[in-house]
Amino acid sequence: MVDRGRRFKDEVYDQFARVGKALASPRRLELLDLLAQGPRSVEVLATHVDQPLANTSHHLRVLRAARLVDSEKVGTRVIYRVAGDDVITLFQAVRGVAESRLAEVELVTRQFLEERQAMERIDAADLLERTRSGVVTVLDVRPREEYEGGHVPGAVSVPLDELKSRLSELPMDRAVVAYCRGPYCVLAVEAIEILRAGGFEAVRMEDGVAEWAAHGFDIETEEATR
């Protein structure tokens, strides 16, 4: 006969494992990272993770079964969002452990950034000071809807796909700091290449909005700036 204490532990750890199993997929981790920026439709998420719609829907159903994301029907679309701030904290913790324990994370990242000449970066605290002093132009190069959902105070929305055509809007006498979705988002890296080719002094901020908020800094929404 199974001891009641043993049965209890088996059952509760089985529930813990549901979360672990849901996270045990590179694509699902990327989806959580994207949803930390704000709610998204399945179609938009599939485009961002470069996956077929059916595959993306499957991954989202797994995350929802583990109560890591919620969904709602809006017209003909299904919109997903993270189930709570604790889910974002969990994702950041998983990422942090990987960064501190797996040398491969730094190796792969360094190789990519060195190839793109994007190793130079600025941290959030330094950016906050420079923004207050008015010595830099801060660009949010994420899609417009992500900027509207929350951005670094004072940042200007210039989505990456618009950047080349809008360079003339930027003052040449200021350094430019570009940011996107966090340390493993490549939008800001590509933005730096475009800015430097256009003659700008440009660096990227490694943190995204979720990391900025985790530091305790304020987030500005589009509504607040109107």
Q: Are residues 125 and 216 located together in one domain of the fold?
A: yes
Catalytically active residues, by annotation: 180
Q: Are residues 121 and 218 located together in one domain of the fold?
A: yes
Q: Are residues 70 and 155 located together in one domain of the fold?
A: no
pTM of the entire predicted model: 0.84
For range 117-134, the mean pLDDT = 76
Whole domain around residue 54: which residue ranges?
A: 4-88
Best CA proximity match to 42, nearest among 76, 65, 85: 76
C-alpha 28/C-alpha 74 separation (Å) is 22
Please write the tens of the pLDDT for every residue from 159-207.
999 999 999 999 999 999 999 999 899 999 999 999 999 999 999 998 8
Please write the tens of the pLDDT for every residue from 28-48.
999 999 999 889 999 999 999
Q: How many distinct structural domains can be found in the chain?
A: 2
**Cα angle at 130 between 36 and 124, to 5 degrees?**
30
CATH number at residue 81: 1.10.10.10
Q: Are residues 144 and 191 located together in one domain of the fold?
A: yes
Q: Are residues 77 and 138 located together in one domain of the fold?
A: no
